[in-house]
Chains A and B, each alone.
Chain A
């Protein structure tokens, strides 16, 4: 599995309240959630994002509320992968459980800039910044998590 796209870059401690503000949690409609994704820290994200784009952020991405609406909004906005220095643990679980690809790589998260074109190989964990000509090695998922992702999410893996 691979992804390739243009980077949207954010800082440390991006919390789920800014990924999808609580005022929009009166719905679970994926498209509606996506239409407000990131709006409290980046009003232009929704109009700028293209299918396949990649989100890159610093440490502790997705901290705060456990709302699964956050990874849902990111995924439904067209983002193919989130790369961060570290992820808050509930966001990490949620992303895996709903099938949003995520990779932890502190070096890549620091170096890659907004607007760079980046490709990601999930089997090997190799991240390539095509614009800069750099590659980075992220830890690939353990087999247990690969099974959930390849089944198409946690519930589908349980029903197998």
Chain B
């Protein structure tokens, strides 16, 4: 790609970029917060709610094991949700800006 001068400030101020920025920021940090809260429930739970973690739910399978395994499901789900949204929404929005970038002054 030939490196021509871009007016970065103008692109940043463009309503299409601002829309992308708002949507992406909100979505990303929401997912980030959910995943961090859910993850830290594990060390906090094992440390302070070990009685809860010991309750058997399926044969000798206890709440703690189910919760630990659910961490994998939640991590995969967040990755999948993010990839879907990024592919279907953020990428086309970014592409529209890229295509028009030279004309934004």
* A and B assemble together: no
